[in-house]
Each structure stands twice: as structure tokens, then as C-alpha cells.
Structure 1
Amino acid sequence: METISRRYVVHLDILGMRALSARNHREAWDMLSALEIGLRKSTNSTVFYKGFDGPAHIPELVQSVVFSDTIVLYSASDSKKDFVAIFTAALKLFAEALYLRVPIRIGISKGMFYSDEERSMYAGPALIEAYEIGEASQWLGIVLSDSVAEDARNEDFRNGASRLVVDWEVPTKNGPVKASVVNWPVALEKNFKIEPPIAPEQFYQIFEEYFGPLSELREVDAAKYTNTVDFLNAQYASHKQG
């Protein structure tokens, strides 16, 4: 059944999947399969949040579709409960991806979105925007559109005194672009096995089995991990000093 409405849309893609598929399609399939398990875990939870008249069950509010190296999440509408649910799901999925050693980047937008699950058809400006802001970033991270950033600021998500949405000069192919991003190093601080600051080589170590040594990556690909570590160390240090 075809539906169209204003919704939140998450676009996720795996870094390096094309090269991995060409080199070892079995490993590429295993990586995608692992991420699909992480997707199910991240979208199968309940959020208890201030101002809600009851718990928000993510499976009732967020749908997902997987094709090739891309995952799309979308909400039923653009309500506050939908936003909290999909924001939580995206952050959980990012955490699961790191745990599973899958390098990903995410864009989150809000706008008109068409879906027809029976015919596996999905389209709309919100999907295009989520794709563009996610794919433009040269790192592992979560970038928000302006409208989503405004909603996030209104909710004022925090871990202690630190905000979970911050402004950052996001590295892109055309140079740094200021945008609002999810402060995942602070949100996931308890997940670190080595306390930051860390070197790019330390961060990349979990991905080396799939992609080979950091020193052997193309310069443009290695830079994505360096850019990620720059953000990670800066946000973690600011959080600890606060």
C-alpha cells in the first residue's frame, strides 16, 4: 500500500564495500549479514522518554529496508515520538556497526517520503537529502539535516553536561562544511575499550581484517579514519573536561 507523508529518514552506507566486494565477495556478504543482525537489534527496543504518555516501541514507529550496502530507516510520521525513536535507532545502529567492525556513515533528514512496502518502492526529497548529506561526509559519523538538527536542539539530548548533537566542520570531498552531527563519542563513551585520545591506527585496527593495513589504503580512504579520530578525540576530551 502506497503512503506519503512527512517523516524522518535515515540513510546508511558501508564504507569500502565496493572494493571489498571486488576482492572477496564472501567477506562482503558476511559483513552485510552482520550489519543486518545489528539492524534488527537496534530497532527492536523501547524508549522511555520525558514528556511521553507511555513508552515508545521502536518496531511500531520505525521501518527499515536493506539493499546492497545501503540501509534506510523511516518513521511513520514526523511527530516527537517518531523523532526520538528513529534518533535512538540510528545511534544504536551506529554502535552496533562499530562493535561488528563495519565502517558506516549516516545521514538523517526530515521531509516528504513515499513508501510502498508491497512493491519495495521508496522515494522522496527526504531520502535524497539523507543520502546526499551522508554520502558527502568523509568519515564514520552521523550528519543531520538542518530541520532534524533543529528538532534535536529542541530536545537537548545530553550525556551529563555534554550535548549529543553538536556543530562540526564535517569533512567532505569539497572541503569542510559546518553541520550539526551526532556526538557519538560521548553517547557511546562506555563502549570504548581504550580510553581516548587514540591514534587513527588504533581506531582502524578493528577494520584491518576486512580492508588491510591503514598504510595500504588509498589516501582518500585513510583520511576518513583520520577525520573520524579527530572528531572522536576532540569531543571526548571536551566531555571529560566539562
Structure 2
Amino acid sequence: MSIRIQYDPDFACKRWIGYFDLLGMKQLYKSGDPISIFLALSKSIEELQKRATAWEDVGYAWFSDTIIIYTKDDSACSFTVIDNITRWYFYFLISGGVPVRGAVACDKFYSDKKNSLFFGEALIEAYEYGEAQDWIGFLLCPSAVKQLEELDLHAEKRLNYVYTDIPYKIEHDKFLDHLPACLVGNWVSENPIIEKLKDMKSRIEKEEIKNKYDRTIKFLETNRRKNFNIDR
């Protein structure tokens, strides 16, 4: 008996989508340590399920070290949901020693959870901006910034984001250089994520990877002092 997947227009709409790429998995694969790989991925997925299922009408999916989270629509309420889930998930991953980069977009997205069929402009944009970053970072894509403006929830007024020059891995002409990036851990005066990143960096040998950590640490330290008026 053949199975035919039918296109359902109800599955296609403009949504908020969060994209995460867990870094360092390649090194774990090369180490030949399946237990470490399993623990890193299983803990990440368990936390994803915990956070996503705590809210109504939130979908999620993963394949290996790639994770997506999406909402039912592009409303202000749905942004509150995706913002809460993605920022805390970003915090959880780094706190657990898992380096990650990611992005939030808002555009057309087709989601057929039953058949694991996902595609659309939102996913493409979030993927491209997520993969292009050359640090441990999480940003709002241009489509997300535009939608926030239309909802009168301007990105520059968000307490947990600040506009900055995004470091990219390669020369480009397709990405915007100046976008809002997440100030992970910035809700407390002493940001524990900074020390965690320094600890993670101390275990890295390759200079190019250390530089990724340095960029993130500098970004968080600079903006922590700005927001909390701390002289160090």
C-alpha cells in the first residue's frame, strides 16, 4: 500500500522560527566516543522538548545537531513565545557546555509535523544566518526585525538584544552586517555565561575556534557594562 503525502494549505503560513546549530559535534564524532555524542544530543533534545511543550501551539523538530522551533503564526503573542523559548534554550546549552549558534526569522513556513515535512523562506533565512555566524551567537534575522517593527515591538527596545556588527565566517554581500544579537545571561548583574565561555575556551586548542569565543565574550562584556553601568 503506497503512502501519498498531500499538500495542505493550512500548514503554510507566516510564522516565527528559531534555528539552532549545535557546534563541536564534528570533533566529538572524530573522537570516536559515542557516549559523549549521545549525552550531548540527548540532553539538548530533552531540554528542547521540556521548553517547547510548556507552551501551546509550538512545534519543533531536530536532525542530528540541527534544531528548529516554530510558532503557529507571526503575532506578537507568538513572538513572546519564541523569544522565551529560544533565549532560555540558548542559555541552557551554553550553561551545559554546548557551543551553539542560531537565529530567529519570521516568514512563510510550511510545517507538516506528521510527515516531518518542513520548508519555506523562514527556514532558509534562519539557516543561512545561523550557519554564517563566526561566534557563539544568536541573532534576529532581517525578517524578524521587520516583523517586530510592524508589531511596534522594535528590536532596539528589547532588553535582551542589542544591535552589533555580526561576525561572519566569509566575505559576503547577502547578509546584513548590523543586527540585534542576544545578550544571553544579561538579566543578572554578574553574567555567569561569560565565565562559562571562558572555561569552555580554555579547553580549545585551535586558535580559530578560540577566536569565536573571544568575539562572544567581548560582545557580552561590553554590553553588560553598558546596561548595568558596571566599572571593572
- The structural deviation recorded for 1:204 is 3.6
- The structural deviation recorded for 1:133 is 0.6
- In structure 2, the partner of 1:140 is 136
In structure 2, relative to structure 1, the CA distance for the partners of 1:239 and 1:29 (3 Å cut) is: same
Identify which of 179, 194, 197 aligns with 1:203.
197
Residues 35-71 of structure 1: per-residue CA shift (max 9 Å, x gap): 11221232244xxxxxxxxxxxx2x131111110011
The CA distance in 1 between the partners of 2:49 and 2:113, in whole Å, is 17
The CA distance in 2 between the partners of 1:126 and 1:162, in whole Å, is 21
Contact 1:162 1:186 in 2 (8 A): no
Asked if residue 7 in structure 1 is aligned to residue 15 in structure 2, the reply is: yes
Equivalent residues in 2 for 1:1-242, closer than 5 Å:
2=8, 3-23=11-31, 24-45=33-54, 58=55, 60-152=56-148, 154-155=152-153, 163-174=159-170, 177-187=177-187, 189=188, 192-193=191-192, 203-205=197-199, 207=200, 213-214=203-204, 216=205, 218-241=206-229
Residues 202-223 of structure 1: per-residue CA shift (max 9 Å, x gap): 6242x47xxx822x1x222211
The CA distance in 1 between the partners of 2:228 and 2:190, in whole Å, is 15
| Percent identity between the two aligned chains | 27
The CA distance in 1 between the partners of 2:17 and 2:129, in whole Å, is 12
Q: CA RMSD in A?
A: 2.6
- The structural deviation recorded for 1:193 is 4.2
- The structural deviation recorded for 1:191 is 7.5
SS of the counterpart of 2:136? Answer: coil
Structure 1 stretch displaced more, 148-157 or 94-103: 148-157
- In structure 2, the partner of 1:53 is none
Q: TM-score, normalised by structure 1?
A: 0.79
- The structural deviation recorded for 1:11 is 0.8
Q: TM-score, normalised by structure 2?
A: 0.82
